[in-house]
């Protein structure tokens, strides 16, 4: 049940959510009737996108219920599986959108460099639990797999996920936005802005930052390093300098806004042709959440 166990990385809440990109050519010229779609209000700072409403939520009762079920199952076999439940009202921390996209701005660059805040609160407890649970998975893989398999019928989760279609559409929309002419032109402006920063291996596009010449001072573990002691001041001075310059150039050249608008438009166009399927899967996700919330209410565990 790998699709269920993928939630472990979400619970840890430290790494970057990578956007899986598949490069495709778009030949569609069909007009989009936005009046038929329920769209959120644009918010570039929080990187709100049309598909967010169909994406996997960061605060997910289905994941919490899976963890409780697995913990109970493994306890019967004599193994401990640590559970850190989301607190009521938990919201994404500074570096993350509501749909789990990594945010990047001058303010975040000054604070974290190219690192991130935890996704949710209770970061240290989640890291400790994840580390302990990974050890159990390595030592007793068959028992862990068997217990995860028990979660599917209880929570109505079939193979795959109700969120898979939204993820696939989002990936394609991201790829289309990345290749849009206006975005590529803005990337050229960003490169010109970044020349004075002095990077010998400046990449072609901002998404490839930071390059190898930027010493993260982390032994190759750039994502987690600033949070090993919970102290954001561990971000190296040079990393912060480059990150702030990067974020400033993205803003001053209009790259950030251009990419956001292109991705928004690509998602709207893609949603227009798949809205019935998205709504169907969205209903499936709601049903799974209801089952999970009921299970959690009936099988409360101590924090």
**Residue 8 token pair:** 């472990």
Cα 115 from Cα 122, distance rounded (Å): 18
Residues 259-268: tens digit of each pLDDT: 999 999 999 9
Lowest-confidence pick of 22-26, 106-110, 135-139: 22-26
**Which residues are CB-contacts of 214 (< 8 A; sequence separation ≥ 6)?**
114, 199, 238, 239, 242
Chain center to CA of 65: 20
For residue 218, the model assigns a pLDDT of: 59
Higher-confidence position of 99 and 174 = 174
**Which residues are CB-contacts of 188 (< 8 A; sequence separation ≥ 6)?**
none
Residues 232-266: tens digit of each pLDDT: 457 899 999 999 999 999 999 999 999 999 999 99
Percent of the chain scored above 90 by pLDDT?
Answer: 57
Phi, psi of 261 (to 5 degrees): -65, -40
Cα 124 from Cα 132, distance rounded (Å): 12
Contact 7, 63 (CB under 8 A): yes
Cα 251 from Cα 229, distance rounded (Å): 31
For residue 1, the model assigns a pLDDT of: 33
**Residue 136: exposed, middle, or buried by beta-carbon count in 10 A (0-12, 13-18, 19+)?**
middle
For residue 197, the model assigns a pLDDT of: 96
**Which residues are CB-contacts of 233 (< 8 A; sequence separation ≥ 6)?**
none
Residues 115-133: tens digit of each pLDDT: 888 877 766 777 888 899 9
CA distances from 292 to 153, 285, 286, 289, 296 (A): 11, 10, 10, 5, 6
Crossing angle of the two packed helices 181-194 and 255-298, in degrees rounded to 10: 110
Cα 77 from Cα 90, distance rounded (Å): 32
Task: Supply the DSSP symbol for 219.
Answer: T
Q: Where do we find the tokens 């769209």?
A: 39
Contact 123, 149 (CB under 8 A): no
Cα 252 from Cα 256, distance rounded (Å): 9
Phi, psi of 46 (to 5 degrees): -95, 0
For residue 215, the model assigns a pLDDT of: 81
Q: Which sequence spans correspond to the domains of the chain?
A: 2-18+50-298
Cα 239 from Cα 216, distance rounded (Å): 6
């Amino acid at each position: 049940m790998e699709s269920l166990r993928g939630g472990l990385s979400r619970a840890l809440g430290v790494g970057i959510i990578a956007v899986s990109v598949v490069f495709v050519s778009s030949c569609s010229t069909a007009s989009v009737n936005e009046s038929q779609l329920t769209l959120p209000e644009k918010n570039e700072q929080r990187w709100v996108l049309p598909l967010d409403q169909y994406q996997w939520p960061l605060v997910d009762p289905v994941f919490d219920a899976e963890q409780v079920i697995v913990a109970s199952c493994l306890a019967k076999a004599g193994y401990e599986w640590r559970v850190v439940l989301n607190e009521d009202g938990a919201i994404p921390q500074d570096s993350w959108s509501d749909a789990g996209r990594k945010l990047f701005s001058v303010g975040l660059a000054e604070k974290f460099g190219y690192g991130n805040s935890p996704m949710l609160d209770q970061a240290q407890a989640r890291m400790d639990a994840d580390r302990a649970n990974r050890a159990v998975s390595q030592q007793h893989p068959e028992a862990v797999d068997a217990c995860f398999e028990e979660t599917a019928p209880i929570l109505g989760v079939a193979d795959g996920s109700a969120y898979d279609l939204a993820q696939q559409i989002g990936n394609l929309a991201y790829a289309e936005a990345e290749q849009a002419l206006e975005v590529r032109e803005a990337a050229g402006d960003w490169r010109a802005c970044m020349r004075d920063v002095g990077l010998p291996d400046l990449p072609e596009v901002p998404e490839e930052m930071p390059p190898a010449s930027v010493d993260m001072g982390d032994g190759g573990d750039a994502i987690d390093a600033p949070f090993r002691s919970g102290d954001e001041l561990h971000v190296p001075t040079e990393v912060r300098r480059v990150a702030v310059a990067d974020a400033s150039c993205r803003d001053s050249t209009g790259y950030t806004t251009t990419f956001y608008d292109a991705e928004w438009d690509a998602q709207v166009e893609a949603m227009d042709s798949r809205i019935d399927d998205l709504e169907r899967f969205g209903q499936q996700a709601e049903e799974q959440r209801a089952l999970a919330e009921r299970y959690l209410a009936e099988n409360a565990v101590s924090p």
